[in-house]
Copies of this chain bind each other. A is one copy, B any other.
Amino acid sequence: MRGRTDLAVEMKEDIQSDEPITGVHVMTKNNGDSDIKEVRIVVENEQGAMSLGKPVGTYITLESEHLREHDEGFHEPMAEVLARHIRQFIGNKKRIMVAGLGNREVTPDALGPFVIDNLYVTRHLLKEGIISKSVEISAIAPGVMAQTGMESVTILKALVKEIKPELLIVIDALAARDSDRLNKTIQLADTGITPGSGVGNHRNAINEESIGVPVIAIGVPTVIAVPTIVNDAMDMMVTAIGRQGTKNVLKKFSEEERYQLACEMVTPYLENMFVTPKDIDEAVKRISYTISEAINQAALA
């Protein structure tokens, strides 16, 4: 309604009601001494899915102001909390494929490929008997359709058929609505990735239905879509005009109408643009590191 977002927490915010939403369960907690805030949203049934606009499943959001800064300790507390959640999703599965979605050549979309670069891949080492105790990890950065001519889901489906992992973990850069969430939020979901998600146009759902094995999605919002920014501008204007005490013509537009208006204003060329911070190179490098560390830890344990 209020601009595209891939974050369940932001979709939850749309529902401006203090009443509990049927079929949607929300829990918030802080992680010990750390500044890591954790929100767990469970979409329990189809009614919840309709209300929230997200498939049935569990969405965990980890947020830390700290994640935006250079850290000598490589954000170890965040890596540990993330590893613990990944481990729970893994359960007793022994063979995992990790897919780093996105375009290595476009900085805010490079998160997925960068995670793969730092991953400790073990499938071949186990097969050759070089190591013996570890979850089997294979990994792929399938690239984007402009580079391969193929949908990511097609490539992953083909590989899963051949390699037969028990679980697919996909890493992807996400779009947020609120600039304040960029590069400090990590979202885990056991629902895979639904159409339209991510920075690039990775289209077609990557989930248990399309792939054939359970799919865990790990994502970090690194961009905002242009219509979101335009829409925000209009919201802010409504407020600004209101402050001036003038009769506010904009109030005549409903929120939905306003977003429609924002989309109309955005030319097709603009629609294909995104908004991203200037220090995105540092942020993507840093957070991809933390995510691969978390997967490495989860696979060892």
Contact with B along A266-301 (1 / 0, CB 8 A): 010110111111111110010000000100110010
- Given the complex, which residues of B lie within 8 Å of A138, measured CB to CB? 148-150
Report how far A269 CA is from B224 CA in the complex, Å: 13
A179/B270 in contact, CB under 8 A: yes
Report how far A79 CA is from B270 CA in the complex, Å: 27
Contact with B along A113-128 (1 / 0, CB 8 A): 0001100111111000
B269/A278 in contact, CB under 8 A: no
Q: How large is the interface on A (under 10, 10 to 19, 20 to 34, 35 or more residues)?
A: 35 or more
- In the complex, the count of this chain's copies comes to 4
- Given the complex, which residues of B lie within 8 Å of A277, measured CB to CB? 269, 272-273
Given contacts A140-B155, A229-B229, contact A264 B240 (CB under 8 A): yes
A267/B179 in contact, CB under 8 A: yes
A105 within 8 A of B: yes
B106/A72 in contact, CB under 8 A: no
Residue among B142, B154, B163, B278 making CB contact with A274, cutoff 8 Å: B278
A15 within 8 A of B: no
A141 within 8 A of B: yes
- Chosen A-B contacts, 16 in total, with CB atoms closer than 8 Å, are A107-B107, A121-B146, A124-B150, A125-B149, A137-B149, A140-B150, A141-B143, A226-B229, A229-B275, A230-B232, A230-B233, A233-B233, A240-B265, A246-B252, A249-B250, A274-B275
